[in-house]
A and B are shown apart, each in its own frame.
Chain A
Amino acid sequence: MRKERSMSETRRMGDILSYATLGIMSILWIFPIIVIILHSFKVENGAYYKNIIPTNWTIDNYTRLLRIGMSDLEKEQAYAQFDKWFLNTLFVAVIVCLISTFFVLAVSYTMSRLRFKMRRTFMNVALILGMFPGFMSMIATYMILKALGLEQTLTALILVYSGGTGLGFYVAKGFFDTIPKAIDEAAWIDGATKFQVFTKITMPLSKPIIVYTVLQSFSGPWMDFIFVNYVMGTKKEKYTVALGLYRMIDTAHIGEYYNQFCAGAVLVSIPLAALFVAMQKYYSEGLSGAVKG
C-alpha cells in the first residue's frame, strides 16, 4: 500500500516536471516566431526595439513591402520589390517542380524496378557526387551559364535548380522498393509493357511519394539564397524572395527595412510552413509503404 502511494507521488512529480519542461521549451521555441510576427506590425523603424510588443500598430509594412498604392516612380525607388520577387520565385518554383518531379520519379523507378548493367555503378556514382560540398562547383556552373548566354536570367535558375535533381532519388526509390514485384509480373503476363506498368500501375499506387516529391521540389527555390546571389548580383528585379529578404537586413538596409523584413518573413513562412506540414504527412504515409496487407 505504502509503496503504491509513493509510486503515484513520483508519477505526479514526474507529470509536473514534464509539463514544466515542455512549457518552458515551448516558450523558447515559439518566442522568436512570435516576435517576428509582432514586429511586422510595429511603426517605429529599426531593428533594435526595446519592447517585445509594439506600442503602435500598423499594416504599412505589408503594403509598402508589396508596393500597394505606390506611384510608378515610388515603385522604382523602393528597395524592397517583394511582389516582383514573389512572382519570380513562384515562376521558377513551378517549372522546377514539374521538371524535377519527372526526373526524380523516372530515376527512382528505374533504379528500383528495372535491372540493367550499369545500375549499381550509377547508384554508387550518385552517392559519391552527393558528397562534394554543394557550391564547390558554383563558379563552374556560372561559367557554363555564361557560355550559354544566360547570366542574370530566371532560366539560369531553373536549369540549375532542376538540372541535377535526378540524383536525389533515394527516398522515392525506397518507396518503390516496397511495392511488391508480383504486381508488375502479373501485368507483364497480361501483356503490359514495362512503360505501361510504370504509368498505369506503379504511378496510381504511389500518390504519397508523388505528392512528397512535388512539394519537396517546389519548396527548394524558395530557400536558396547562395546560388541566386551569385547569379543575379545587383540585378534586384530578378531576385527571389530568399535573396531579397537576406539583402534587406544586411548592414546597409537593416535600419530602414527591418520591419518590412519581418513582414516578408511572415508572408513567406505561411505558405512554406503549410507545405512542410503537408509534406510531413505524405512523407510518413510514403514510408509506411504503398500496398497494405
Chain B
Amino acid sequence: MIVSSVSASGTSLPRRKVDFDCNVFSVIAQIFACGDIFTKLSFLIFGLSNLVRGQIIKGLIFLGTEVAFFVYLFKGFGAFCGVKDLKGLVTLGEVEPIQEKVLDPISGMEVIQTIPGDDSSKFLLYGVVSMLIIAAFILLWKANVKSAYIAQYAVERGKKPVSIFRDITALFDKNLHNTLLFFPLVGILAFTITPLIYMILAAFTNFDKNHNGINATFDWVGLKNFGEVLGRGGTYGTTFWRILGWTIIWAIFATFLCYIGGMLLAMLINRRGLKFKSLWRTVFVMSVAVPQFVTLLTMRTFIEQNGTLDTFLRSLKILGKTETLGLLDTPLNARISVILVNCWVGIPYTMLIMTGILMNIPADLYESAKIDGATKYVMFFKITLPYMIFVTTPHLIQQFIGNINNFNVIYLLTGGGPSLDPTMYQSGSTDLLVTWLYKITLEKSDYCFASAIGICVFIICATLSLITYRRSGSYKNEEEFQ
C-alpha cells in the first residue's frame, strides 16, 4: 500500500499525455502507448524507469519486491511457496492418510500407526494467502507502471524526478491516507478478510467431520452444501427452514417489543411533573451497565428448572414441593421466556436512545397542536410517533439485524434448548441460525455446512440493510454538515 502511494506522489505537473483519472486498464494502455523503451521495459523489470532516471532508492524498492515475489512464487520462503500453494488450492491435497499395523519394538505388540497425509485445511489456508499475495503483487505492478511513466514524464519536461525525501514527506501530507490506513488494513486483511475468504471457500468443499484434513483430505464439491442446506428433505434442509422461521419470528418480536417498550418507558420518565427523573433513569441504566453475560447467566439460574424462582415460590407454598414453573421446559414456554428476557435486557437500552430523541422534538409542534385543540392521544399519534419512527428507522433496522444474530441471549439463556424434536438436526426450539451455526461448528465439526449457513445469514442481512442504508439520508448526504 505504501508503495502505491510513492508512485502517485508526483508534484503537480502540467498536462500529461496520460489521463490518470480514467479507469485502470485504459491508464495502463495509455502508459504503454506513450512510454519510452525504459518505461515499456518497466512493465517487466520493476523500477527500471525509476533507476535510469535517478530515483535509485525507489527503483531498488520496486526491483527488490519483484525479486522477492518471484522467489516466493517458485522457490518459497519456509512453508510458503506460491506455485505449490496455488496447486494445493486446486487439489486440496492428494495423499490420503494411511493406517497400518506396526510391530511395537518395546512391547512386541501390534499397534495401529497413522501415517499423516496431506492436511487439506492447511492447503486451503496457504492457497488463500497466496491469492492475497498475488493480488498485492498486481497492485504493486500497477503502481510501478505509473511511477515509471511519471519519472519519464518529469525528465521529458526537463525536470528532476521527485526525490525519495519528497515522497516520504508526501506520505504525511498529500498521501496521508496511505500512511494512516496501512496498519489497520494489515490487521483487517490478516484477521478479518483472510479467515472470511477461507470460510467462504470452505462452503464449497466437503470439509466436515469425516474429511477434516487429519482423517481424510477434503475436496471441492461445488454448490452441493447449499443444496443440502436449502433443499427440503435432507437432515439439514428440514431444520434450516424451521430455524429460519423461528429466527424471523424472534427478530420481529424482540425488535418491536423492545422498541415500543423502550419508547413508552422513555415517555413515562420524560412525563412533565414527574419527580426523581434521574433516579428512575439510573435504576434502568444500572441493568444495562452490568455486562450482558453476567445478567443473562443470572437470569438463567433464576428461571431454569429448580432455579431460584422455583425455589422461592415453593418456599411461599405457591408451588408444590416438586412442582416447577417450567419456564424453559416446553418449546412454547422457552420461546416466550427468551423474548421476555430479551425485553428485560433491551428496553432500558432503547430507553436511553429514545430519551435523547424525545427531547429533540421541537416543542412548538406541540404548542400549535394544543392551540388547535388536539388531545394527548392525537398528539402522540400525529406528532410523537411519526417523528420517532422517522428518526429511528435506521436504528430499528440495525436492531433487527442484530437480533437475527443475537447469539448471547439465546446461547446463555437456553443454549438453544429444549431439544425435544429428534428431526431437528443438532438444534432445539429456541436455536437461531447463528447459535445453530455455532453448534454445528463446535459439536459436529461440519465446517462446510456451518459456512454455507453463515453465507445464507449474510445474504439475508445484506439484502435487508443494503436496501435501507442506501435510502437513509446519512448515506446520501454525507457531507451535508461539513
Give the interface of A toward B (CB within 8 A): 11, 14-15, 18-19, 21-22, 25-26, 28-30, 32-33, 35-36, 47-52, 99, 102-103, 106-107, 109-110, 114, 116, 119, 122, 127-129, 131-141, 143-144, 147, 159-160, 162-167, 174, 177-178, 180-181, 193-195, 198, 222-223, 225-226, 230, 242, 245-246, 249, 254, 258, 261, 265, 268-269, 272-274, 276-277, 280, 284, 287
Cα-based distance from A137 to B121 in the complex (angstroms):
14
In the complex formed, the residue of B with least CB distance to A219 is B291
Hey, what's the 0/1 contact readout for B303-317 against A, CB within 8 Å counting as 1? 000111011101100
Q: How far is the CA of A160 from the CA of B177 in the complex (A)?
A: 24
- Give Cα A67–Cα B176 distance, bound, in whole angstroms: 51
- The list of the 6 closest CB pairs from A to B, nearest first, reads A163-B191, A166-B184, A136-B454, A137-B195, A140-B195, A273-B289
Q: Which of B265, B356, B465, B478 counts the most A-chain CB atoms under 10 A from its CB?
A: B478
Other A-B contacts than A48-B310, A109-B180, A110-B181, 13 sampled, CB-CB below 8 A, are A26-B280, A35-B302, A103-B187, A122-B181, A140-B194, A143-B122, A163-B192, A166-B184, A174-B474, A193-B173, A245-B297, A272-B290, A284-B356
A83 to chain B: closest CB distance in Å?
18
Are A194 and B174 in contact, with the CB atoms below 8 A? yes
> A163–B348 contact, CB under 8 A?
no
Residues of chain B at interface, number, CB under 8 A: 88
Q: Does B481 lie within 8 Å of A177, measured CB to CB?
A: yes
| Pairwise interchain contact A137-B196, C-beta atoms closer than 8 A | yes
Contact A48 B306 (CB under 8 A): yes
B173 to A265, Cβ gap below 8 A? no
Q: How far is the CA of A11 from the CA of B272 in the complex (A)?
A: 10
**Could you jot down 12 A-B contacts, CB within 8 Å?**
A22-B268, A33-B290, A133-B434, A133-B458, A136-B454, A140-B194, A144-B191, A194-B173, A195-B176, A249-B297, A261-B297, A265-B297
Max chain A Cβ within 10 angstroms of own Cβ: one of B172, B174, B265, B293: B293
Name the residue of chain B whose CB is nearest to the CB of A105: B180
A131-B462, A139-B447 in contact; A110/B268 too (CB < 8 A)? no
Q: Check B454 against A133 for contact (C-beta < 8 Å).
A: yes
Whether B125 contacts A140 by the Cβ 8 Å rule is: yes
A129 to B176, CA, bound (A): 24
**Distance to closest chain A CB from B394 (angstroms):** 11
B95 at interface by CB-CB < 8 Å: no
For A143, list chain B residues within 8 Å (CB): 121-122, 125, 198
Provided the pairs A245-B297, A273-B289 are in contact, do residues A129 and B193 lie with their beta carbons within 8 angstroms?
A: yes
Contact A50 to B314, CB < 8 A, known contacts A33-B287, A277-B285: yes
Closest chain A CB from B410 CB (angstroms): 13
Q: Which residue of A lies closest to B128 (CB)?
A: A140
Residue of B301, B315, B457 with most chain A CB atoms under a 10 A cut-off? B301
**Mask of B19-39 contacts with A, CB within 8 angstroms, 1/0:** 000000000000000000000
Which residue of A35, A103, A137 contacts B198 across the interface (Cβ within 8 Å)?
Answer: A137
With A35-B308, A50-B311 as contacts: A273 and B442 at CB distance below 8 Å = no
Chain B residue contacts of A114, Cβ below 8 A: 176-177, 180
Residues on A with C-beta less than 8 A from B99 are: none
8 Å CB contact of B181 from A35, A107, A261, A272: A107
Tell me whether B312 and A50 are in contact (CB under 8 A).
yes
Residues of chain B within 8 A of A147, CB atoms compared: 122, 125
Q: How far is the CB of B297 from chain A (nearest CB, A)?
A: 6
> In the bound complex, how far is the Cα of B278 from the Cα of A22, in angstroms?
13
CB distance from B247 to the nearest CB of A (A): 12
Residues from 280 to 330 in B contacting A, C-beta threshold 8 Å: 280, 283-295, 297-299, 301-302, 306-308, 310-312, 314-315
Q: Which of A136, A225, A258, A273 has the most CB of B within 10 A?
A: A136
